[in-house]
Amino acid sequence: MIQRPFDLVCFDLGGVVVRICYTWKEGCAAAGLDFRADLPANDQQRQAWHELGKLYQTGRIDCDTFAKCISQSVDGLYTPEEITKVNAAWILGEYEGMSDLIQDVNDSGYQTAALSNSCHAHWEHLPHLHAPSRLGDCVSSHHLGLIKPEAAIYRAFETKLGISGERIIFFDDLEENVRGAQDIGWTAVHINSAGSPPQQIRAVLQKYGMLNNS
């Protein structure tokens, strides 16, 4: 029997499986709000948003607290209610062809999963999308209390699924997350979210001979 190169195909969600906003301006447009400023506007706001995002995505603060703190960080330029509205609109839908790709991976006999930096509000939106529902296991940073690219989240994922890192191939749109996975022995591939993630991933899997229909 030919040894398969991997046992698990793991996907990041935002920018890989689902389309998301990448700027505050995009988020305002998706939420139907007027664009008042390019946020975060300075290094102080950028650092505050980074720290708040980390707390939020590891489940240490709830949605209301996150929205209030973000609003305070911009001196009330957007209200907590408006912050919540933008946050809820951040996921734009799934990439065309991603659902079929995941099904092809499943049909080829490989385990599939997601490992995402996410939050409760975004996680609630995922069941409404077809592609994520085809994944075998979906694991979020807010479930584990850990966040990419820290090594601990990849190790916790291995433990949760009962699989060793060298048997995982992982796709993420952020280079630091790719490097974090590679540092602990995963095969990780950077995906350009501005292109077609399904086509990029399919090409990699075909290179490894992992798709029955290739």
Q: Do residues 181 and 154 touch, judged by C-beta distance below 8 A?
A: yes
Residue 213's pLDDT is 65
Q: What's residue 91's pLDDT?
A: 95
Domain ranges of the chain: 8-18+95-207, 24-88
Segments of the chain assigned E as strands:
8-11, 18-20, 91-94, 111-116, 137-140, 168-172, 187-190
Q: Which of 68, 61, 101 is nearest to 83 (CA)?
A: 68
Using the Cα atoms of residue 7, residue 192, residue 130 and residue 212 in order, give the sign of their dihedral.
negative
* pLDDT for position 194: 93
Is CATH 3.50.50.60 the classification given to domain 8-18+95-207?
no
pLDDT value at residue 3: 82
Task: Specify whether the CB–CB gap between 51 and 63 falls below 8 A.
Answer: no
State the helix-helix crossing angle for 197-207 and 98-107, rounded to 10 degrees. Answer: 20
pLDDT per residue as tens, the chain (214 positions)? 468 999 999 999 999 999 999 999 999 999 999 999 999 999 999 999 999 999 999 999 999 999 999 999 999 999 999 999 999 999 999 999 999 999 999 999 999 999 999 999 999 888 789 999 999 999 999 999 999 999 999 999 999 999 999 999 999 999 999 999 999 999 999 999 999 999 999 999 999 999 986 5
Q: Which amino acid is at 97?
A: G
